[in-house]
Amino acid sequence: MTEAAHVADRYIAVWNETDSARRMALLAEGWSDDATYVDPQVAGKGHNEIAALIGAVHERFPTFRFALDGRPDGYAGNIRFSWVFGPEAEPDMIKGTDFAVIEGDRLKSITGFLDKIPSVG
């Protein structure tokens, strides 16, 4: 498995973790203490804020799961990967692409983009 694929797999595992204590352990293991996460809807800095953002996603979408979409790639501490998010019946209801900066072997920052979101109305 490439480094980019390994990092992306660990990232998806954090977002899919429903147990808050286990999620915090995964964040502590794979994300720097001052890591940042930002997408068009939310932003957070540090393990506690990022864990709270992920927890809120689980509360709003309890039956949805994330999965990688395609092959992650990267170079020089920068990684990009796409993902899908949805319930079992429509696993790609929402799609996105994230750009990660790696520091050492831990995530330093994530910048997320939403590529497909359902129409409202």
pLDDT 10s digits, 100-118: 999 988 999 999 999 999 8
* Contact of 37 with 56, CB cutoff 8 Å: no
Note the pLDDT tens digit of each residue in 16-46.
Answer: 999 999 999 999 999 999 999 999 999 999 9
Closest CA to 15 of 23, 6, 7: 23
